[in-house]
Structure 1
Amino acid sequence: MPDLFSVQGKTVLVTGGSRGIGLMIAEAFVEAGARVIISSRKAGVCHEVAERLSAKGQCEAIPADLSDSAGADTLAAAVNERLGSLDVLVNNAGATWGAPLAEYPEAAFDKLWAVNVKAIFRLTTQLLPALRKAADAEDPARVINIGSVDGIRVPSMEVYAYSATKSAVHMLTRSLAHQLAREHITVNAIAPGPFESKMMAFALDSPEIRAAIEDEVPLGRIGRPEDMGGTAIYLASRAGAYLTGAIIPVDGGMTTHG
């Protein structure tokens, strides 16, 4: 049974891995014995977090700004040079934008499309040589995209570009899964509900809003690091080797009621 969920010795890249959901996933892989590379836009923070995680296992930093194609290309080139092969790619880096409908700017769609969708496509395609080197029929290489429950259901907050791009992430996941299955590369998405993160801090730091959000969750609580890390490790382990094209809501049941 331990071998079924083992990721010992695997190489893992986590974008947006210095905070929030990305950090939860990166820390879980480090503690499980994987070699982890984290990437994020702020170089100082990225190196600081990698150094802290290195006390628990293997963790390195490659800072990159994925808001344009050049950043994705630079990160892919660095990973290809440093690793050669890559077992797991976690596309977590993302952004959000909230504003009332009458004031919602068109620029929000441009920014979030670039970060939330184009960066996933660009980085995944640029890293295909490394993923192919790690892939085989018994133990496929894995791509794990981080979507959102707001890409499945209509969100309660006015985040029009965010929900639209996360829905696009889910469809991109399925398209890539179909295309890459014959190459023994699986592609799945995790659709998180509310978790502690900078993106959710404006809501969860308020006791009243936090209580209202918890009331929306059938299981009655905010997600914990183990919930996110456990799902990612399942998808990257032998236990998840036969799953591809899936969108997994890790949301305490929020999507069960639309």
Structure 2
Amino acid sequence: MDFAKLFSLEGRVAVVTGGSRGIGAMIAEGFLAAGAARVYITARKAEVVADTAARLGERCIALPGDISTIAGIEALVEDLQTRETQLDILVNNAGVAWGAEFESFPEMGWDKVMNLNVKTPFFLTQKLLPMLKAGAAERPAKVINIASIDGLRINPWETYSYQASKAAVVQLTRRMSARLIRDNIVVSCICPGAFPSEMNKAAKNAPDASSKAIPSRRVGDLEDMAGGAIYLASRAGDYVVGTPLPIDGGIVNGWIPDDFADPSGH
């Protein structure tokens, strides 16, 4: 075993949904640094996707589109099929949150969140299955679903559909992994804690305040997220099947400080 290549993604082709900013952009940057041949990033706002791809370099390719619908998923898959014959890594990261009081929580806030956070990862993986099978011919292909620590424990905020959706992603990962391992496709899951992003403005705009509730006493950064994703995507993670991996500085399994303040910002 060449341990120097244990965490290498040399020659691998990846797709990262929601890859234009936040956690998705961190993962894309990490994959490229680990040697991925090409990393396709997708999100709705074409200009933002193009800007991120330009920042990350020529091996990062913008693939804008709206994958919140089956039609959008199929369009993305068709576009990718004109560029690649196989796919080695799929990161289902695109997501949305919604907060409202219990008495007034709207149906729109339920459907929008559940559709993008739960329905899209399932059907995008389903539609990309032939390409993932092709990528798994010689070594395992990888599907990494991005859930949240809010799928493992509650937070103080009234984000009902978000928390339900992320718990669903954790269980969906387990069910998908049991089926897709038969095709040499390893499905796993990352549960991020507080990382600076547009969704988590508290960690982005007030990291010191957010850090008070984190045993590690800081919010997550690029290296934390990229490191976890590279581990799961590389040879190092080939035997990690169906597992939710918290990357949270110890929130889920650590102590609750006396000066607790919710770090999620949702």
CA deviations 1:184-226 (Å, max 9, x no partner) are 000000000000100011x23554xx44431211111100111
Partner of 1:12 in structure 2? 14
| Partner in structure 2 of residue 53 of structure 1 | 56
Number of matched residues? 252
Per the alignment, residue 29 of structure 1 pairs with: 31
- Does residue 250 in structure 1 map to residue 247 in structure 2? yes
Distance 2:46 2:113 in 1: 21
For 1:187-198, what aligned pairs fall within 5 Å after superposition?
Answer: 187-198=187-198
Shift of 1:156: 2.1
> What's the CA shift for 1:106?
2.0
Q: Is the 8 A contact 2:197 2:204 kept in 1?
A: no
CA shift, 1:42, in A, is 0.5
Indicate the residue corresponding to 1:199 in structure 2.
199
Give the equivalent residue in structure 1 for 2:92: 91
Counterpart of 2:151? 151
Cross-structure match for 1:100: 101
Give the C-alpha shift of residue 102 in structure 1.
2.2
Following the alignment from structure 2 to structure 1, what is the Cα–Cα distance between the partners of residues 41 and 108?
28
Q: Which residue of 1 aligns with 2:218?
A: 221
Gaps of 5+ in 1: none
2:126 paired residue number = 125
In angstroms, what is the RMSD of aligned CA positions? Answer: 1.4
Tell me which residue corresponds to 1:164: 164
- Decide which structure has greater helix share: 1
Please give the alpha-carbon distance, in whole angstroms, between the structure 1 residues aligned to 2:130 and 2:205.
45
Whole-Å Cα distance in 2 between the matches of residues 212 and 154 of structure 1? Answer: 19
What secondary structure, in the 3-state scheme, does the structure 2 residue paired with 1:216 have?
coil
Give identity over the alignment, percent: 48
Counterpart contact for 1:180–1:186, Cα < 8 Å: yes
Query: 1:33·1:58 contact (CA, 8 Å) conserved in 2?
Result: no
**Structure 2 residues without counterparts, runs of 5 or longer:** 257-266
Looking at structure 2, the residues matched to 205 and 10 of structure 1 have their Cα atoms a distance apart, in angstroms, of 31
In structure 2, the residue matched to 1:173 is: 173
TM-score computed with the length of structure 1 as normaliser:
0.94
Distance across 2 between alignment mates of 1:128 and 1:45: 28
